[in-house]
Amino acid sequence: MSHTSDDDTSSSKSVIYSVTRNALTQKEFDETFKNSAKEVKTFKEKAKNFIGRVFKKKCLSTECLMNWIPIVRWMRGYKIKWLSNDVTAGITIAIMNVPQSMAYAQLAKLPPVIGLYTSFLPTLIYAILGTSKHISLGMFAVVSLMVGTAQQDYYFNNNLSYDNITNIVGGKLDPESLGLLTPLQITVTITFFCGLTILLMSILQLHILTVYLSDELVGGFTTGAACHVFLSQFPKLFDVHTKSQSGLFKFFKIAIDFFSHITETNFASLIISVVCLIVLYVGKEYINPAFRKKVPFPIPFELLVVIVTTLLSYFIGFNKKFNVNIVAEIPTGFPKPTAPIFSAFSSLILDSMTIAIVIYAITFSCGRIFGKKHNYTVDAKQELRALATVEIVASFFSCHPASGSLSRASVNSQMGCQSQLGSIISAAVILLVILWAGPLLEPLPLCVLSCIIVIALQTMLKQFLEISNLYKKSIIDLSIWIVTFLGVILWDVSQGLLIGIGYALLTVIIRTQWPKTVMLAKIGNTDIYKDIRRYKASHGIPYVFIYRFDAPLIFINCENFKTKVNHLLDSSFIGSDMENNNDNQKKCIIFDCTGITSIDLMGVKCIEELYFDLKNLDINLLLAGCKFPLRRMFEKCGTYTKISKDYFFPSIHDAVLYAEYFTRNQKSTILILDNE
């Protein structure tokens, strides 16, 4: 290669690419440059190495300690100048967490104090073991909804009626008298099994499973779940009593049941709800943005609303005078440690696994987003270990499954939080509420908590706006979003997630089964070969046709591959060339294999059959750019005993030079063939 420099010319013209070499077959290339590929390991050897990596003895060095307990690393490098931001962020998160955690506990059909427990212990443990500076574990609306749904499914599976389930949720019926678990027992058991699931993912290094949860799938899922949460709060906003629902069309059953009881509305609760919704919406959407530059932290409108309505409820007597439902008793201190109900494994494990995957996907996604924004790395493996520890330990202390939250992480980011010290401060403030301030919140109307949930759903509901962007960019990604969303709306949250995952995998299969295929031609006086439909300067070679198949060649697309090649042979352009071939000119098809990343036995068989079919038509098949996995598979299957290695080439240009020599024809012709 030679290089020339000219300040007056563009960089694309300042480098001259000039190479002179002999055309090589793949065999000659390997022999000349001494292919030193390592011997392929057997499946037994691979399995042994994998198990060895998973269960290898961990070192006790400081580096290993910092990897397993990240607080050691960031405390060693902590700077005093970060302290003010971390303390401010921690207090702000705690103020936001108190009302939200109580509200989300209600969403999970649990006493509000469970939300406070979940905002304390998991937050503290994650601060020690987590690798994200901005994640604050606690309650999350989607997870709370899934836990509440799991409770309902448990009771339905034990043949309880809608009325009995409603009475259990409302505290009017003790499920233990029926030999069943209480909602709290179900929840802590789910928390424990979530921890076990995440621990198993950590041991088997299955963090890669989250790659199946694309951004579009998660967007459709969380938006659908947000719609469920939004609708579920209407009975509480209007203070009407509705029955528990489950199964197909659950969303519409809830809506129908609500509107059938709307005449029972408690107007005192409705007035409180409307006023609180207006205050929260105006405060978060208009006042906070307006004062963002003047006030270093967001005004905690949720906490202000809770304080004001609690005081009004206490002095006016909302519950006694207007029959407004209130939080009622909130115990102080922590409950005694209790073990999860391990005998419920078979009943709750599937729900727990689904919730665990959602927790990890959401928490890691949030951590990764803010890690990129603030230029630090979130360790996927350590996140699994941290979350597993959090869920397992928290399950013994009456905690709901803990998850990261985009809203809390965003606040930490806005407040300039630099470490998990902010989470420790937040946990300390929550601890004060648990130990002393809980009873002060007993007069709080439940409809106020529902207002907090509804306003908090804005971010997820705004994801509807992504539909237009997806439509412009990718119809397939849009379909994943819509199918997942409809699965959640038409069935339920867990089932909708599974439908979304199944459909996303189906799109991958379809794209593999019917991949893009193109005809290539040489671009001008270069050795570059591109799609002949997209470049006017391309020209072909008579009786030499270059074909590319952009997908792994495996059992699901072998027939499609054959169909494409037959279409190539039967096309009018090639047919006319063959009809004009009066001098018995030899013909070649060059198969560009650079788009084939892998091949299975049926794929190899397909190549061999194609070679002999073309040979019977007096057409040579040349294979160019085969990657090592393909060549290794050909070696294993004995393909080289059927097809000479002289027909394999390291690049398209080598194959073309051979084909030109073989056909002895240098004429140029334009070929256009639509193979998509």
Stretch 109-133: mean pLDDT, rounded? 95
Q: Is residue 14 part of a domain?
A: no
How many angstroms from the chain centroid is the CA of residue 312?
A: 44
158-171 pLDDT, tens digit each: 888 777 888 887 77
Backbone φ/ψ region at 536: left (φ over 0), alpha (ψ -120 to 50), beta: alpha
Average pLDDT over residues 157-186: 85
Q: How confident is the model at residue 37 (pLDDT cuts 50, 70, 90)?
A: low
Is residue 60 included in any domain, yes or no? no
Q: Which of 200, 151, 432, 449 is nearest to 305 (CA)?
A: 449
Cβ–Cβ contacts within 10 Å for residue 133, how many?
Answer: 25
Residue-level pLDDT at 283? 94
Q: Whole-angstrom Cα distance, residue 234 to residue 224? A: 16
At which residue do the structure tokens 């959090």 appear?
390
The residue with greater pLDDT, 544 or 58, is 544
Q: Which residue, among 94, 118, 116, 97, has the nearest Cα to 327 in the 3D structure? A: 116
Helix (H) or strand (E) holding 141: helix 141-157
For 307, phi and psi rounded to 5 degrees?
Answer: -65, -50
Query: Which amino acid makes up residue 664?
Result: R
- Residue 122 CA to residue 399 CA, distance in Å, equals 8
Among residues 428, 443, 464, the one where a domain terminates is 464
Same domain, 211 and 303: yes
Residues 254 and 342 in one domain: yes
Alpha helices, H only, 283-420: 288-290, 301-312, 318-322, 345-373, 380-394, 406-414
CB atoms within 10 A of CB 344: 19
38 within some domain: no
Give CA–CA dist 633/561, Å, rounded: 18
Do residues 199 and 311 share a domain? yes
Chain Cα centroid distance, residue 454: 24
Q: Is residue 9 part of a domain?
A: no
Q: How confident is the model at residue 198 (pLDDT cuts 50, 70, 90)?
A: very high
Tell me the per-residue pLDDT of 269-293, one tens digit each, with 9 for 90 and over.
999 999 999 999 999 999 988 887 7
CA distance 272 to 276: 6
Give residue 41's pLDDT.
Answer: 61
What pLDDT score does 13 carry? 54
Q: Name the burial class of residue 186, with classes exposed (0-12), middle (13-18) and buried (19+) by CB atoms within 10 angstroms of its CB.
A: buried
Residue 505, Cβ neighbours under 10 Å: how many?
11
DSSP per-residue letters across 516-533 = -EEEEEEETTSS-EEETT
Say if residue 538 is in the same domain as residue 394.
Answer: no
Q: What is the pLDDT of residues 298-330, one digit of tens each?
A: 888 999 999 999 999 999 999 999 999 999 888
Least confident of 88-102, 149-163, 580-594: 580-594
Say whether both 522 and 453 belong to one domain.
no
C-beta of residue 675 within 8 angstroms of C-beta of residue 519: yes
Q: Are residues 525 and 450 in the same domain?
A: no
The answer to whether residues 522 and 388 belong to one domain is no
- Of the three residues 464, 495, 527, the one that is the final residue of a domain is 464
> Per-residue confidence at 44, pLDDT binned at 50, 70, 90?
low
State whether 198 and 289 are in the same domain.
yes
Segment 352-383, tens digit of pLDDT: 999 999 999 899 989 988 998 899 999 988 99
Find the mean pLDDT for residues 455-465: 90
What tokens appear for 234 in the block?
């209407």
Q: What CATH number is attached to the domain comprising 575?
A: 3.30.750.24
More confident residue, 43 or 372: 372
For 417, phi then psi, to 5°, come to -60, 135
In the chain, how many domains are there? 2
In a domain, 430, yes or no: yes
232 dihedral zone (left: phi>0; alpha: psi -120 to 50; beta)? alpha
What is d(CA 560, CA 553) in angstroms, rounded to the nearest whole number? 10
Provide the CB-side half-sphere exposure for 453 (13 A, CA). Answer: 31
pTM of the model: 0.81
**CB-CB neighbours of 273 under 10 Å:** 23
Q: Average pLDDT of 108-117?
A: 94
Name residue, tokens 């279409």.
567
Within 10 angstroms of residue 188's Cβ, the number of other Cβ atoms is 26
The answer to whether 220 and 481 have CB atoms below 8 angstroms apart is: yes
For the cut 90, the answer to whether the pLDDT of residue 46 exceeds it is no
Domain boundary among 442, 464, 486: 464
Q: Considering Cα of 646, then 649, then 655, then 661, what sign does the dihedral take? A: negative
CA distance 365 to 404: 9
What is the number of H-type helices and E-type strands within the chain? Answer: 30, 9
* pLDDT-above-70 percentage for the chain: 88
Asked if residue 227 and residue 356 are part of one domain, the reply reads yes
pLDDT of 674 strictly over 50: no
Phi first, then psi: what are they for 416, rounded to 5°?
A: 75, 25
Q: Which domain holds residue 616?
A: 514-663
What percentage of the chain carries pLDDT values higher than 90? 57
Does 523 fall in a domain? yes
Residue 496 belongs to some domain of the structure: no
Q: Give SS3 for 411.
A: helix
What pLDDT, on a 0 to 100 scale, did the predictor assign at position 468? 93
CB-CB neighbours of 19 under 10 Å: 6
CA–CA dist 319, 149 (Å, integer): 28
pLDDT of residue 4: 47
Query: What pLDDT sits at residue 585?
Result: 63
> How far is it, in rounded angstroms, from Cα 306 to Cα 313?
10
**Which residue in 13, 16, 11, 14 sits closest to 1, CA to CA?**
16
Q: How far is it, in rounded angstroms, from Cα 110 to Cα 315?
A: 26
CA 574 to chain CA mean position, Å: 46
Tens digits of residue pLDDT in 225-249 = 999 999 999 999 999 988 888 788 9
Q: Tell me how far apart the alpha carbons of residues 536 and 542 are, in angstroms, rounded to a whole number.
A: 17
Same domain for 554 and 429: no
Name, of 77-81, 486-490, 511-515, 522-526, the range with top average pLDDT. Answer: 486-490
- Write down the pLDDT at residue 26: 85
Give the model's pLDDT for residue 147. Answer: 95
Q: In the predicted model, what is the mean pLDDT of residues 114-123?
A: 96
Contact status, residue 220 vs residue 464, Cβ threshold 8 Å: no
Residue 2 pairs in a beta bridge with 16
pLDDT digits (tens, 9 = 90+) for 570-606: 763 455 555 555 455 678 899 999 999 999 999 999 9
Element (H, E) at 624: strand 619-624
In-domain check, residue 675: no
Q: What is the dihedral of CA 583, 584, 586, 589, to 10 degrees?
A: 110
Positive or negative torsion for Cα 545, 549, 554, 560: negative
Q: Is the pLDDT of residue 3 over 50?
A: no
Same domain, 651 and 534: yes
Confidence of residue 504 (pLDDT cuts 50, 70, 90): very high
Q: What does the block give as tokens for 570?
A: 């039967």
The Cα 527–Cα 53 span in angstroms is 45
Rounded mean pLDDT of 68-75?
88
Domain co-membership, 254 together with 366: yes
Q: pLDDT digit string (tens) for 618-662?
A: 888 999 999 999 999 999 999 999 999 999 999 999 998 888 877
